[in-house]
Structure 1
Amino acid sequence: MYDPAGLKSFFNGYGENEWERLQKNLHGRVEYEVTKHILKKHLPPDGHILDAGCGPGRYAIDLARMGYRVHLVDISEEQLRIAEERIGETGVLGNISSFSCLDVCDLSEISDASFDAVLCLGGALSYVRGGRHRAISELIRVARPGSPLIVSVMSLLGTFHLLSPFDAKDFLVNIEDHVEWDPSTEFPDHLNTRPGSNEWHAPMTLYTSGYMREFLEEHGCEVLEIASTNTITSSYWDGLEKITSNPEATEMLFRLEKEFCTRSGLLDMGEHLIAVAETPRG
């Protein structure tokens, strides 16, 4: 079940952590670089863009610098406050059209076909859990017919690479305490994490790339591409410091992550799935 009040409270309390997450270590920087790579590849040359679930505005800043008119939406007042502050510091506030505190499951304040592209990056679609069908319907509704819809979610299979920083033994022995899955049944193509588990920062739905494609197609979208972030770095946290200390190694890692991000055999190895779709033409 989706708990919007709980999600709002979590991200209001999360503060600057979300802003810092994409820059504080090489792992976050890879996610950031791969996501920007996908955006540059698929966005229209200009126009109005909705950044739904914008968080503290890191991608909105990049979009504004590229000349887009950006509309920011987030469920958290605190994340929007940070976004406005950070964007103001960069000098691109003139390209920001609005800041709106809205739930991605209810964008009724926004008119149909308002945007030339709609983004929902990070994990907003994962955090709404059972509200995902309503959320994607709203994102499609506010996009112009035939425009790009770029959304990302937490990867189900890729998340299991994160066991190493956590208590892997406890997770595996007590897996039903952490995910809503009965081990006597077949492993699903998407599942919910268990609220209250200490392995997750917030309750979410985890997706496979196959389910992500089916989900978007079910809503009438044409899926153009699915990519994945951290296909390499998800499996070796311990070696990242050595890479960070060498600029050439860091740049090569960024290049390889971008090269590999759409390889079909690696899609479910990364931590975030990024789907690029064309919204229904009517």
Structure 2
Amino acid sequence: MIEKVRAYYDTFGMREWQRLERTDEGRVELYLTCQTLSSYLPKSARILDIGGGPGRYTLWFAERGYQVVLADLSPELIKIAQEKVSASHVASHVEEMVVADARDLSRWKDASFDAVVALGPFYHLPDAVDRESAACEIVRVLRPGGRAFVALMPRYAFLRRTLALKNEQHRLIDPSFIYHVLEQGIFLNDQPGAFTGGYGVRPEEIEPFFSRYGLVMETLLAAQGIVPDLQEELTRLAQGNPAAYQAMLDIIIRTASDPSILGMANHLLYVGRKQS
């Protein structure tokens, strides 16, 4: 399964770099994530960006003076990151860019990072043993008091995704597919080259899961806030009424942790602190 996930992201190329700035969904996610990172990161830190793809967040960290290590499952996305970092004025802040798997961070010593950012790996780990390995590894390389920022997907997001894609809608009448998504959180795709190997969480299970590995939850957010299906309208608002757009962004930030919206989010962002 991991090879299918790697192959899927290898085909992304520049699309993954552009997604966070040039798509409606990506812009809201980028804004909310950066606001959250700014709120919880210390003024100086060494950060592991695991699953960081082409380096969008790695560069964001480097531009703010952090020391960063970027790792990703996809060699193709790492190549793009290397090009982007080399062309930047902050390359000295990026220590290395390597291919690595979130389940095995043995390349790095215990307690070697002030923060670990994992904005992709956990919703591609349908096997419980793999999720446990990734959680253990993230906590192991964190220093006491360090923070983990982890992206997750709720189970309903996979059904909504299936409904939205015409060539995948046939799966909605497949009882086995529905059972695996709703009861086990497992999303396997029968479309060649498409998103697959997904794992969807129940929001109420997130805090106890990470607490088993020594993390204390500080917040859990819907990464697109209350507008997961209205982001095109939000973009039009930005163009026609910038003041109202900024007011709406402020509302999105203020309400992103409302428990009533978490299960219907496209992505979730967990922030946890490693106990001393």
CA drift at 1:68: 0.4
Structure 2: gaps (5+ residues): none
Aligned counterpart, 2:26: 28
Q: Deviations over 1:157-183 (max 9, x none)?
A: 3454546633496453335336625xx
Identity %: 25
CA change 1:175–1:248 in 2 (3 A) is farther
Aligned counterpart, 2:172: 172
Q: What letter is aligned with 1:194?
A: L
CA change 1:219–1:179 in 2 (3 A) is same
Q: 1:266 aligns with which of 261, 267, 270?
A: 261
Counterpart CA distance in 1 for 2:202 and 2:149 is 16
Aligned counterpart, 2:114: 116
SS of corresponding position for 1:145:
strand
With normalisation by structure 1, the TM-score equals 0.87
Aligned counterpart, 1:243: 237
The answer to whether structure 1 residue 127 and structure 2 residue 124 are counterparts is yes
Pairwise mapping of residues 183-198 of structure 1 onto structure 2 (< 5 A)?
Answer: 187-188=182-183, 191-197=185-191
**CA root-mean-square deviation:** 2.3
Q: Greater CA deviation, 21-30 or 197-206?
A: 197-206
CA drift at 1:89: 2.5
Question: 2:172 touches 2:178 (CA, 8 Å); kept in 1?
Answer: no
Aligned counterpart, 2:16: 18
Question: 1:152 touches 1:275 (CA, 8 Å); kept in 2?
Answer: yes
Counterpart CA distance in 2 for 1:199 and 1:209 is 29
Counterpart CA distance in 2 for 1:5 and 1:173 is 28
Aligned counterpart, 1:39: 37
Counterpart CA distance in 2 for 1:199 and 1:245 is 35
Question: 2:158 touches 2:187 (CA, 8 Å); kept in 1?
Answer: no
Question: 1:126 touches 1:132 (CA, 8 Å); kept in 2?
Answer: no
Q: Greater CA deviation, 79-88 or 62-71?
A: 79-88
Question: 2:155 touches 2:202 (CA, 8 Å); kept in 1?
Answer: yes
CA change 1:161–1:254 in 2 (3 A) is farther
Structure 1: gaps (5+ residues): 182-186
CA drift at 1:100: 1.6
Aligned counterpart, 2:73: 75
With normalisation by structure 2, the TM-score equals 0.89
